[in-house]
Amino acid sequence: MIRGLPEVPFGIKDPQMRRWAIDIHECVKTMMGTLAPPAVPSNAKVTAQPLGNLVQWTRGISSDYHELLISSTPSTANAQVIDVGDSAQYFDNVGDTGVNRFYWIRSRKFTGARSLNVFAGNGTTLASTATVTPPTPPPSSQIQAKNQQTGHVEPITQPGRVETA
């Protein structure tokens, strides 16, 4: 039961009217669920690279896509927002040496809901001749699948087993 959304009263005698009320109730419950913010991304980190910075993270559960915020100061006030889609990493190709940038990541839903910003860190770009060992990627997020009964996208509770009931 969703708080603030009462169940359909049994006092409705007309079967068609009751079915209509139940359909509206289910529709509102679904809409309320899509407006809830997705989980914040985790394991965010920045790795300096030649002429750029690599930002990596673990996807936020129930997110549809992610946005990266990039700023030359430690504030999101004037940060550039980049839609990175379904990816869990982004290479910021700065194109110069010694440039320091700050990065935040947030999860988004297509309905407009968004998570809090997570500070990934800052990075100062390296010289083009620098040699960098590729960083270990952060852990992957939960796998999600569409529930064939409800139509909702949900995390898979048993890895390796997808139910399509």
- Number of neighbouring beta carbons within 10 Å of residue 57: 28
d(CA 89, CA 103) in angstroms, rounded, equals 12
Question: What digits encode the pLDDT tens for the residues 113-165?
Answer: 899 999 999 999 999 999 988 888 888 766 666 677 776 666 655 444 444 44
Q: Give pLDDT, residue 33.
A: 60
Q: Give pLDDT, residue 135.
A: 86
Q: Give pLDDT, residue 154.
A: 64
Question: What digits encode the pLDDT tens for the residues 1-36?
Answer: 445 556 666 677 788 887 887 788 777 776 666 678
Taking the domains of the chain in order of start, what are their residue ranges? 1-35, 42-124
Locate 2 and state its tokens.
Answer: 């969703």
What pTM did the predictor assign? 0.69
CB 88 within 8 A of CB 59: yes
Tokens 């009751």 belong to residue: 18
* Coil vs helix vs strand at 19: helix
Q: Give pLDDT, residue 53.
A: 97
Q: Which CATH architecture has domain 42-124?
A: Sandwich (2.60)
Q: Give pLDDT, residue 6.
A: 62
Question: What digits encode the pLDDT tens for the residues 52-93?
Answer: 999 999 988 888 899 999 999 999 999 999 999 988 999 999
